[in-house]
Structure 1
Amino acid sequence: MPEAIWITFAFVLGLGVKAVGLPPLVGYLAAGFVLSGLSSFTGLAVEQTGVLEHVAHLGVLLLLFTVGLKLKLKSIVSPEVIGGGLLHFGITCLVFTPGLYWLLELDWATALLLAIALSFSSTVLAAKVLEGKREIRAFHGRVAIGILIMQDLIALVVMSLAAGKTPSQWALLVFGLPLLRPLLYRLLDASGHDELLVLLGLLLALVLGGLGFEAVGLSSELGALIFGAMLANHPRSQELSKSLWSVKEMFLVGFFLQIGIGGLPDQQALMFAVVAALVLPLKGILFYFLLLAFRLRARSSFLTSLSLTNYSEFGLIVASVALPEWLVPLAITVSLSFVFSAPINRFAHSIYERVCHRIDRFESHKRHPDEQPISLGDTKVLVMGMGRTGTAAYDWLSANEERIMGLDSDPAKTEKHQKEGRHVVFADAEDITFWEGLHMPSVESVVLAMSDIEGKLIAARMLRKLGFTGYIVAHTMYADEAERIREAGANQAYLTMSETGVALASHLAEHHQRIEDVRALEQAKLPK
């Protein structure tokens, strides 16, 4: 069975690259090429089938749906996203088109379409990397995803023009989708927390978003993304995203296998891919300076650019429609960019710390919304990370302490807290420049409530490095992480589940004590 062979090779090579510190998706890509080679040289029946193609497509739809669940559209409509995305696309096409025309002796139309295919960055890879680091909702993650959405929309237009197809008149119904949001909210509320929740996600992503948009002549990928974005403001959107996590991850293995199994390249295809890989850094450099031009800080520009320094699976889709003869060379090009981009992005923060002093000089002196505070004033208690745990800690502490401040790396979340009356500002604990300029003269205690272990470790180390001698407390899910946090400088790191159990027991003890007090009072009133 081909499926058994796919699963075996994907697991073995995925586990192998994970052991050397690379993301498993690099192993899945390698598994695809190994299987393609086995098919060519041994006759082993591992060629791509309709099943693998369908699984891969479902994985992409589910990924885009879960990305949509984490998006606030108002944060995407910004100058750096629209301007940066369009300018990068235009400049790339202007530079690549004549270069491809002269070097490869192509006609202008083919050179332009190839340039367009190479101008896109990978939504699948960038979203997966950012999601793995829990940075999709950080400022740089939101800018990266916004630019990717801009590119995907451009790709959809190009594919429509190249295929000579136009959406049907029913496509206008898409503009009425916001009217369905109350119904979708009710369905999400009524779905509970078990398998119905998963089925609702599959229904929206694959049926309504996927097949529904295809039926009216639009992209299924766009449909999945839009239906996810329509639920982004619902309180249970993240629960829905987590419920789909395992299904999405399994299907995405098929996507990466599909790229490799598509066929082995010839010498010309390899040369094309190598040259394209060599100019890949220029793509990231262009993004970096464009984002700086829109007044982003150097760190935000660097991390966003690094996320976008790769070639896109949408380039393969464009090629399958308009340039089928270039599909294999582009598949190798995309694969090489993944091999380069995935490990680089894993160490993005460490790389920035090493080069920040060299590249920060290009930063604009004008302020931008991603600017972070340099002084905490008379703040006495600091809560870093304003998710559910951080918010609960803030609310409990604020009952007895007015000089309290919350920090969070999600601008939309900070705005929400500010509207609810909390003193919360934007700041990213993993940003070295934030710590370098921070002044915290009155802070006595710090609560580390970020979801990311790396953020907690960096915050604890930097606080002690700044000379902070106050009390630092954190929470985590795992005992080994708690030990690492304490070694980084925290006074105490509590296990989340253990503390939940203690809290439940304390509530029960308080209840029993109240009953005993009532009984004692009743006994005292009885005549002796």
Structure 2
Amino acid sequence: MLNPHREIVCPVCKVIFSQARRGRFSVLALWLAGAFAMGVLVKQVGMPPLVGFLAAGFAFGAAGIEPTPMLLELSEAGVLLLLFAVGLKLRFRNLVRFEVWGTALLHLAVMALVAGASLHYVGGLDWPIALILGTALGFSSTVLAAKMLESRRELRAFHGRVSIGILIVQDVVAVALLAATSGHSPSPYALLVLLLPLARPLLARVLDLVGHDELLVLFGAVLALAAGGWAFETLGLGNELGALVLGTLLSDHRRAQELSKAIWGLKEFLLIGFFLSIGLSGPPTTEVLVLAGLATLLMPVKAALFFWLLLRVGLRARSSFIASLSLASYSEFGLIVASNATNAGLLDSQWLVFAALIVALSFAISAPLNRIAHKIFERYEHLLTRFESERRHPDDSPISLGDADIVIMGMGRTGTGAYIYLHEHGKHVVGIDNDPAKIERHIADGRRVIYGDLEDPNFNELLNTENISAILLAVPDLEAKLFACRQLRKRGFEGLISATYLYAEERDKMAEAGCDVTHSFFAEAGTGFAISTLDRLTT
């Protein structure tokens, strides 16, 4: 809503806002127009649109616009859909690994001491509340990390899975922290969530029944907002955790990826409200601005600590660096903790503004850096690799292909068909995919398929292609295929590279990237269709 007590200096703003007060323009329309304008503007200078959405929120806040309940509800819905989509790509077994829970808890302990001491001595807070707020500063933004990893298609990469696992552990700690600051503990009925795995067959059955259209989107929204969000919040466990858990229940389903894609557009639209709402938190005082500036200086410390811990558990320097950079921002949970502490009388209201400001600043700093994360690593690779441990995590080690002479990257329907054909013709084939559930199904069917992430910039360095004569790229994403071609040629692979394409303009791009043979999905499908028909006619 508009703040009638704040003076608006800009004459144009006066006209626009006066019309908004009269109802000719809705505030929602202003939000959308402002977010779009700022998003386009920052995109022109190479930054992700979400930085523009944050800037639009701060501009609106400075101009006298305050967040309305509608914006906050849309914002929360966007966050829950994002976390639900993240859950669809997770496996519970990934959370029990030491590199996940060990790193998360050790990092939180150190950050609680470092940030807590800073808040005590610099901010003047008492030790108990300083440690609570310090722990909150140790949380990383699930929204930003997931958004950045998703935009680079790295959620299924090893460093992506570790990052999201760490975030989930942080979310569990956050639930306890929120209970401590709000004075409310989880309901005794919260133990019922332990029975959720029993509901998996029913949820899977419903997912099979809803089809491929609007019911699929609605099903995802109901699970994220109602079954995950509302139900978990009612039990005192936090709606964010609920959305993650509900998504994870369906992560092994064959249609999990389709469901994730179905809710993508709705999720992206609603998340605009989240980034706007952060900027609309309120005007900071000079003291808060200074403290927020000092808090941003802790971000490199936070990232460096993640980097060091991940190296110690056996991750490569690249994986550790990319993961630590994605976890460097401050979390929206810090806002919730500060809000609860303020409502409980433990903090002054300006600390809530401080929390909002450091989250927004960390987003504005982290987002563009994450966009060029791999380029930054390559620039300083010679320095960062010196810190690698001699111990190497098995999921982050060189990939052995055995006696295979043909590699198929991407074991979906196209890759599986190619595998079967080549195997039947006496070729030694190995398939590579980044979906553990898909790999397990192929192994159960007797195929040789191993884990590998085509979009990991260091993947081809780990891949031993010495005895490989041909590599088939059977993934749908054009950028992934172009990237793989360039990396394979850059690493000296001289064998045959074959790839599929959807549109005619993609063919030339793949040839320029180093692809030798290209096949059109549509043309080859038509040829196969005709051959099958003729075979039936002649029998």
Aligned-pair CA distance for 1:178: 1.3
Which residue of structure 1 aligns with residue 494 of structure 2? 469
Matched AA of 1:418? I
- Is 1:232 equivalent to 2:254 in the alignment? no
CA separation in 1, counterparts of 2:337 and 2:469?
A: 57
**2:467 is the alignment partner of 1:442:** yes
2:29 corresponds in structure 1 to: 4
| 8 Å CA contact retained: 2:252, 2:437 | no
CA 1:511–1:430: 2 relative to 1, 3 Å: closer
Deviations 1:469-489 (A, max 9, x none): 322112344544443322121
On the 8 A contact 2:325/2:370 being kept in 1, the answer is: yes
- What TM-score, normalized to structure 1? 0.91
Q: State the match for 1:95 in structure 2.
A: 114
Aligned pair count reads: 508
SS in 2 for 1:367: coil
Q: Distance in 1 between matches of 2:439 and 2:379?
A: 29
Residues 342, 391 of structure 1: CA spacing in aligned structure 2 closer, same or farther, 3 A cutoff? farther
Amino acid at match of 2:357: I
Deviation (angstroms), 1:501: 4.7
Deviation at 1:373, TM superposition (A): 3.0
2:523 matches 1:504:
no
Contact 2:288 2:350 in 1 (8 A): no
1:373 is paired with a residue whose SS is coil
By how many angstroms is 1:411 displaced?
Answer: 5.0
State the 1:18 CA deviation: 1.6
Correspondence for 1:273: 292
Question: Cα deviations across residues 290-319 of structure 1 (Å, max 9, x unaligned)?
Answer: 111111222221111111011111111111
Secondary structure of residue in 1 paired with 2:395: coil
Provide the C-alpha distance between the structure 2 equivalents of 1:513 and 1:425, rounded to a whole number of angstroms: 35
Instruction: Specify the SS of the correspondent of 1:265.
Output: coil
Q: Deviations over 1:430-488 (max 9, x none)?
A: 55655446543332111123455444333322332344332211234454444332212
Distance change in 2, residues 1:214/1:462 (3 Å):
closer
Determine if contact 1:138/1:410 at 8 Å carries over to the other structure: no
Q: Match for 2:425 among 382, 400, 407? A: 400
Corresponding residue for 1:365?
390
Question: Hey, what does 1:521 align to over in structure 2?
Answer: none
- 1:146 correspondence with 2:155: no
Which deviations, in whole Å up to 9, do the C-alpha atoms of 1:61-102 show, x marking residues without a partner?
111111111111112221010100000000111122122211
Structure 2 contact 35–272 (Cα < 8 Å) conserved: yes
Deviations 1:108-133 (A, max 9, x none): 12311221121100000001111111
Quick check: 1:380 aligned with 2:402?
A: no
CA distance in 2, matches of 1:277, 1:480: 44
Q: What corresponds to 2:227 in structure 1? A: 208
User: Aligned in 2, Cα 1:452/1:268: closer, same or farther, shift over 3 Å?
Assistant: farther
Q: 1:228 to 1:428 in 2, by over 3 A?
A: closer
Q: Distance in 1 between matches of 2:284 and 2:506?
A: 44
Partner SS, residue 104 of structure 2: helix
Greater Cα shift, 3-12 or 289-298: 289-298
Show the 5 A alignment for 1:312-391: 312-323=331-342, 324-373=349-398, 376-391=401-416
Contact residue 76 and residue 142 of structure 1 kept, 8 A: no
What percentage of residue pairs aligned between the two structures are identical? 51
Q: 1:37 to 1:288 in 2, by over 3 A?
A: same
Q: CA deviation at 1:393?
A: 2.5
Are 1:15 and 2:40 an aligned pair? yes
Q: Is the 8 A contact 1:133 1:452 kept in 2?
A: no
Paired residue type of 1:511:
T
Please tell me whether the aligned partners of residues 209 and 227 of structure 1 are also in contact (alpha carbons under 8 angstroms): yes
Aligned counterparts of 2:51 and 2:412: Cα–Cα separation in 1: 32
**CA pair 434-166 structure 1, distance change in 2 beyond 3 A:** closer
Query: SS at the partner of 2:408?
Result: strand
Question: What is residue 317 of structure 2 aligned with on the other side?
Answer: 298
Superposition TM-score, scaled by structure 2 size:
0.89
CA contact (8 A) 1:80 1:294 kept: yes
- Measured in 1, the distance between the counterparts of 2:207 and 2:39 equals 35
Question: What is aligned with 1:523?
Answer: none
Which blocks of at least 5 consecutive residues in structure 2 are unaligned? 1-25, 343-348
Instruction: Show CA shifts across 1:319-350 (max 9, x none).
Output: 11114431111111111111111111112222
Contact 1:379–1:440 (Cα < 8 Å) also in 2:
no
After superposition, the Cα gap between the structure-2 partners of 1:343 and 1:128, relative to the gap in structure 1 and judged at 3 Å, is same
Letter in 2 for 1:256: F
Q: Does 1:252 align with 2:261?
A: no
Residues 1:270 and 1:492: Cα distance change in structure 2 (over 3 Å): farther
Counterpart contact for 1:298–1:363, Cα < 8 Å? yes
> In 2, distance between residues paired with 1:510 and 1:415?
31
Is 1:76–2:95 an aligned residue pair? yes
**Residue 345 of structure 2 corresponds to which residue in structure 1?**
none
Q: Does 1:28 align with 2:53?
A: yes
Q: Aligned partners of 1:468 and 1:70: how far apart in 2?
A: 31
Paired AA for residue 164 in structure 1:
G
Task: Please tell me whether residue 67 in structure 1 is matched to residue 86 in structure 2.
Answer: yes
**Deviates most, 220-229 or 447-456:** 447-456
Which amino acid counterpart does residue 271 of structure 2 have in structure 1?
A: L
RMSD over equivalenced CA pairs, Å: 2.1
Q: Per the alignment, in what secondary structure is the counterpart of residue 396 of structure 2? A: coil
Q: How far off its partner does 1:188 sit?
A: 0.8
CA gap of 1:411–1:255, structure 2 versus 1, over 3 A, is same
What is the CA-CA distance between 1:375 and the residue it aligns to? 5.2
